[in-house]
Chain A
Amino acid sequence: MITTPWDTELAQELRRQFGQGIVECSSYLEQNFVVVRPDHTVEVLAWLKTEQGFDTIVDATVVDCPKREGARFDLIYIVYSHSRNERLRVKTSFDDGYEPGTAVPVYAGANWLEREIFDMFGIRFAGHPDLRRILLPDDWRGHPLRKDSSILAMDQQWVKDNLGIESGQ
């Protein structure tokens, strides 16, 4: 990704406030994002909300990159400020097994979004009030949006369990 540096007042303020916690402030196709260290995500979100007017959470999602050493998942929060009419992506990377802090105390709307991430990627959020599967049944095995989860494998497992034969396709 060929990014351009993002260096507005907000980016400078972020760096001043969090120092080493901020890894990168960039922009791609006029969309700004800030990469933070995983243990600083919630702090940064709380600061953006209370000090900078990013009053609403738009979305939270994950990108799975199994080939990347030591930092398999990208966790992305998209926040929006009504007063500034500005969107910002807060990104962080960590490896499988790491439990990022939950954003629910900052944005109540993160509740279902983080549940969906747990459901689809198997990432557990530390301190989440209600971390259950949301879209898939409770007895579902695996987390389908991980790259190593194949559509066919799930299908074959189902066929095996329910029809008692080796493979459906």
Chain B
Amino acid sequence: MTETLLDANELVLNMGPQHPSTHGVLRVVLKLDGEKVTGTDCIIGYLHRGVEKIGENRTYAMFAPYVDRMDYLAAVSNGLGYCLAVEKLLNVTAPPRAQTVRVILAELNRIASHLFWLGTHALDIGAMTPLFYTLREREEVLKIFENYCGARITTHAFRIGGLYYEVYDGFEAQVLAFCEMFERRVDEYETMLTENRIWVDRLLGVGILTAADCLELGVTGPMIRASGVAWDLRKAQPYSGYEQYDFDIPTRTNGDTYDRYMVRIAEMRQSVRIIRQAAKNIPEGPQMAKVPKVIKPPVGEVYVSVEAPKGELGYFLVSDGTITPYRVRVRPPSFVNLQALDRMARGALIADVVAIIGTIDIVLGEVDR
């Protein structure tokens, strides 16, 4: 008898790019043996806009708003990383007042990003309610951004050398009120999910990534911390005055999807701690360092990275002494972390792939740039 297609044990299934749970336009080709995944291939680039090429054709200041469009859920962290990189190249430091406001906004953005992740991740897994809860609180963060700089998502909140906008009247009070309200809200999410039977069954032991895997693949952020490596750039190589604040690095040991959920929940609480300390002591003083009107860094190259909500976000800038960067390289955390999908998904069930994609916390705008 001749062999027919039905005899083949392997099935290739295409998922995406238009699939509600791929968080944008990610296409994953799954190789299946029954319901088990035996291999994956990510096809990315649908959102590629050539950000690095644009950077080579703009001045340093003109490129700053573009970086917000990479990880559009954490635009403030993107801007912070870029400003710090150019400042390093210019060898200037933002004044303490600017640093403190930067920390407050960056941590609020971390909360907003984690909230959006939690809502959509829960939605992927079938729990619709948390999305409405988390977006309600995210809205409060976006209101603070809107009051501060007029924009909600792509904020362009910082300038090279410090801040452009003075904080508005009642900024501290609004931020502290948010912290007060938010801690109770995190408890609410935990009541809904942490011990929820369905949630635990869908997440526990799914998509395990060991610490050795994380190191080998260059995985960073909450993913490496969920695998038991207490590594956070804010502690390891502090920037923007993070060394002044008292906070912990939450870690877990199993490295599965459930642990990554627990780490991100704990991180939101730590962010609140940092924001509280910062908002109570915003130093007086100038908000801009002495930066020339035309930014023309000396010939040289630097690599500067920050702890973005998704992991290590790095900028490698090469200056040739002119007003445009010679080379802008962005090291996006989502791109590097997405590489771990194959390792996590092998041997899992199709239904778990959705949970695993969600748990990496990717933003395709940043993966594709």
Q: Tell me the residues in window 114-168 of chain A with beta carbons closer than 8 Å to chain B beta carbons.
A: 116, 120, 133-137, 144-145, 151
B140 interface residue (CB < 8 Å to A): no
A-B contact pairs, 30 of them (CB 8 A): A1-B300, A2-B298, A2-B299, A2-B300, A28-B301, A55-B215, A56-B215, A56-B218, A58-B305, A58-B312, A58-B314, A58-B331, A59-B314, A59-B316, A59-B329, A59-B331, A61-B327, A76-B316, A78-B316, A82-B215, A82-B231, A85-B237, A87-B303, A109-B339, A112-B339, A134-B44, A135-B45, A135-B369, A137-B45, A151-B53
> Is B335 touching A31 in the complex (CB atoms < 8 A)?
no
A89: which B residues are within 8 A, CB to CB?
303
CB-based A-B contact count at 8 angstroms? 91
B336 interface residue (CB < 8 Å to A): yes
In the complex formed, the residue of B with least CB distance to A113 is: B336
Interface size class for chain A? Answer: 35 or more
> Is A108 touching B217 in the complex (CB atoms < 8 A)?
yes
A133 to B44, CA, bound (A): 10
State whether A1 and B299 are in contact (beta carbons under 8 Å apart), knowing that A58-B312, A112-B336, A135-B45 are contacts in the complex: yes
In the complex formed, the residue of B with least CB distance to A147 is: B56
| Chain B proximity of A129: nearest CB distance (Å) | 12
Q: Which of B48, B331, B339 contacts A136 (CB 8 A)?
A: B48
| Chain B proximity of A76: nearest CB distance (Å) | 7
Q: Which of B48, B229, B335 contacts A112 (CB 8 A)?
A: B335
B18 interface residue (CB < 8 Å to A): no
> Is B302 touching A31 in the complex (CB atoms < 8 A)?
yes
Q: Tell me the residues in window 222-255 of chain B with beta carbons closer than 8 Å to chain A beta carbons.
A: 229, 231, 236-237
| Chain B proximity of A87: nearest CB distance (Å) | 7
Q: Tell me the residues in window 1-56 of chain B with beta carbons closer than 8 Å to chain A beta carbons.
A: 44-45, 48, 50, 52-53
B368: which A residues are within 8 A, CB to CB?
135
A108: which B residues are within 8 A, CB to CB?
216-217
- A interface SS class: mixed
A145: which B residues are within 8 A, CB to CB?
52-53
In the complex formed, the residue of B with least CB distance to A109 is: B218
